[in-house]
């Protein structure tokens, strides 16, 4: 049974910032800000703001940052990073049309109704506004079955699982323009990745067993390394950016 996302993140909130290497990866975070085209007049919306690591990177670079999330235990840690916090589902934003220059979302879409959230982002962006997404994916067909199974046990609140081409396709389906996407590989400790209070001991063991029993292709593609009591995995993320059309293009 899929776990309620609010309860899931309540259980993870205290240790969230230490739950994956990518959470505080300065190189990744800087890349997201640069791809957004941040400037001193920009108004930024951070979807699934969590503990505020992305929002914090925009401080001093833009006019204002608004964060959206459904879990207070997470966003209370982000209060110093934003001008406003909106506690609401991203599929139903209580915000006016055409007010943001930039929208960023890292690792949030897997918990949401995809058409709903991307439609809302499109609505609240100004014409010509920029969207930047960053999400964990499988590498492709050869590793997706095992990747998705691992992701399911590690994250029981997850609703959606992605291949690399899925993210740009979602943007195209919502009429975003000038779509570009880039690979980003994050070398992760599986012990660190599963060490949180939101998943059971049995689920943690199941994740490790999947790695141990994984196919040759999966281990090769992910550069799996068994190191003492840990497992290292080169996880793939896709960073995609696009813009809302101006009405004339």
Query: pLDDT for 76-128, tens place per residue?
Result: 999 999 999 999 999 999 999 999 999 999 999 999 999 999 999 999 999 99
Instruction: Judge residue 27's burial from the number of C-beta atoms within 10 Å of its C-beta, 0-12 exposed, 13-18 middle, 19 or more buried.
Output: exposed
pTM comes to: 0.96
Report how far residue 245's alpha carbon sits from residue 239's, in angstroms, rounded to the nearest whole number: 20
pLDDT along the chain (249 residues), means of 10: 89 93 97 98 98 96 98 95 96 98 98 97 98 98 98 96 97 97 98 93 96 98 96 98 83
> In the prediction, which pLDDT does 248 show?
55
Closest CA to 8 of 203, 134, 197, 206: 197
Token output for 169: 């396709």
Torsions phi, psi for 133 (to 5 deg): -120, 150
Cα distances (Å, whole numbers) of residue 163 to 43, 52, 54:
30, 26, 23
Maximum C-alpha span of the chain: 58
Domains and CATH numbers, the chain: 5-140+155-187+235-244 (3.40.50.150)
């Amino acid at each position: 049974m899929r776990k309620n996302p609010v309860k899931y993140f309540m259980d993870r909130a205290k240790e969230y910032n230490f739950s994956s290497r990518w959470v505080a990866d300065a190189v990744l975070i800087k890349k997201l800000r640069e791809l957004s085209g941040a400037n001193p007049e920009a108004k930024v919306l951070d979807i699934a703001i969590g503990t505020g690591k992305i929002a914090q990177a925009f401080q001093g670079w833009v006019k204002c940052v608004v964060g959206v999330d459904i879990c207070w235990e997470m966003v209370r840690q982000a209060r110093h990073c934003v001008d406003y916090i909106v506690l609401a589902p991203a599929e139903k934003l209580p915000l006016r049309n055409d007010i943001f220059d930039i929208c960023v979302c890292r690792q949030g879409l897997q918990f949401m109704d995809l058409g709903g959230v991307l439609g809302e982002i499109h609505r609240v962006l100004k014409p010509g506004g920029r969207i930047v997404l960053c999400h964990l994916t499988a590498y492709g067909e050869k590793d997706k079955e095992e990747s998705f199974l691992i992701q399911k046990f590690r994250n029981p609140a997850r609703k959606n699982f992605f291949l690399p081409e899925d993210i740009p396709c979602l943007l195209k389906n919502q009429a975003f323009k000038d779509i570009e996407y880039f690979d980003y590989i994050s070398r992760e400790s599986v012990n660190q990745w599963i060490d949180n209070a939101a998943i059971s001991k049995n689920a943690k063991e199941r994740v490790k067993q999947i790695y141990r029993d994984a196919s040759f292709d999966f281990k090769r593609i992910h550069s799996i390394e068994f190191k003492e009591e840990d497992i290292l995995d080169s996880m793939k993320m896709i960073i995609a950016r696009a813009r809302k059309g101006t009405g004339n293009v």
